[in-house]
């Protein structure tokens, strides 16, 4: 099998065209797969030829190296979508954009996805990182997830419990299974009410996030105190806002970054957003190294000031060393 015998295959494609930072060097081979069989063939080619591969969704939460990726980038474009109104579920391909999914559900009077209004990216990426906003997350909607297991080259379904969804995390970040699609649970609602809730959530995002700038969404996870026993809460006692966050059990990463004096801090063409400190924006033709170095600096300064190790949400493509 040759690399151009499955999906749409190209050589030396700039990854900057396929992520919302608009950053990154070339992928040796870039493949768009629109069916399960095309995905299987592309993966088989990579494994049989001992070529590294990276599975790409909507490119909304990735940082591609300036040197590109020495291997095969497989972009999931499986975009089948069907709704069962009577039983209140949708079967959706991993490559379906979240915005398109939400609008189709709204037009059918099916509710449950309003939290995703304005959320970029695809369903597959949302499942991979348990994307969420405005009090909801994709875990709330999952019935089961269909995957391809690269160790056996077989398709199978993963239950909600097996996904092990946590805050901005899932088992898919560890087990190597490739998300093909999912069955989503929905519910009846009036289309006008759904639209009103979508508009409310979208307005919140516009008011608090730099949606008009090139960014990748939140760079760091908020700090979940129930999972972070290592955090010395006593050093925060002199900061009134912390008591509120401690009661809620979550400390926003943006708050820590802001209090570390990093809002609008720049390295090269990359800058911490002045609107939301947990966003890094490509302000002036930033390089991937600018973003990478800025992430490193944020982690270092927040740890120095608050004794907290921030965890990245963003995924890295083609970097030799992890921050």
Catalytic residue annotation: 168, 218, 313
Exposure b/e, 131-147, CB count within 10 A at least 16 = b: bbbbebbbbbbbebbbb
From the centroid of its chain, how far is CA 268? 24
Closest alpha carbon to 121 in 100, 152, 105: 100
Bridge-based pairing of strands 26-33 and 69-76 is parallel
Question: Sign of torsion, CA 48 49 54 58?
Answer: negative
How many CB atoms lie under 10 A from the CB of residue 126? 29
Q: Count CB atoms within 10 A of the CB of residue 52.
A: 12
Contact 210, 279 (CB under 8 A): yes
Check: CB of residue 89 under 8 Å from CB of residue 186. Answer: yes
Burial class (CB in 10 A: 0-12, 13-18, 19+), 194: buried
What is the SS3 assignment for 257? helix
User: Which of 320, 269, 323, 268 lies closest to 298 in space, CA to CA?
Assistant: 323
| Crossing angle between the packed helical segments 191-208 and 98-107, to the nearest 10 degrees | 150
Task: Pinpoint the alpha helices (H) of the chain.
Answer: 36-48, 98-107, 123-128, 160-163, 172-175, 191-208, 240-248, 253-259, 288-306
């Amino acid at each position: 099998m040759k690399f151009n015998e499955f999906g749409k295959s190209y050589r030396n494609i700039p990854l900057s065209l396929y992520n919302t930072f608009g950053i990154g060097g070339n992928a040796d081979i870039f493949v768009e797969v629109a069916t399960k069989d095309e995905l299987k063939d592309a993966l088989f080619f990579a494994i049989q030829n001992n070529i590294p591969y990276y599975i790409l969704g909507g490119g909304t939460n990735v940082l591609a190296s300036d040197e590109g990726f020495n291997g095969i980038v497989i972009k999931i474009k499986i975009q089948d979508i069907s709704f069962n109104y009577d039983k209140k579920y949708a079967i959706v391909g991993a490559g379906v954009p979240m915005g398109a999914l939400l609008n189709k559900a709204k037009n059918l009077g099916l509710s449950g996805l309003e939290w995703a209004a304005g959320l970029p990216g695809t369903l597959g990426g949302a499942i991979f990182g348990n994307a969420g906003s405005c009090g909801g997350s994709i875990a709330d909607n999952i019935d089961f997830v269909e995957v391809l297991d690269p160790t056996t080259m077989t398709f199978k379904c993963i239950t909600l419990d097996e996904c092990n969804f946590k805050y901005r995390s899932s088992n898919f970040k560890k087990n190597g299974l490739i998300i093909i699609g999912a069955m989503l649970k929905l519910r009846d609602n009036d289309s006008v009410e759904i639209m009103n809730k979508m508009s409310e959530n979208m307005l919140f995002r516009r008011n608090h996030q730099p949606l008009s700038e090139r960014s990748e969404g939140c760079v760091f996870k908020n700090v979940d105190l129930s999972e972070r026993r290592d955090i010395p809460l006593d050093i925060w006692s002199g900061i009134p806002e912390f008591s509120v966050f401690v009661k809620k059990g979550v400390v926003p990463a943006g708050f820590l970054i802001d209090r570390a004096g990093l809002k609008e801090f720049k390295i090269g063409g990359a800058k911490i957003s002045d609107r939301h400190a947990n966003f890094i924006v490509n302000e002036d033709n930033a390089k991937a190294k600018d973003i990478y170095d800025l992430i490193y600096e944020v982690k270092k300064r927040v740890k120095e000031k608050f004794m907290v190790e921030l965890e990245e949400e963003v995924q890295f493509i083609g970097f030799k060393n992890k921050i």
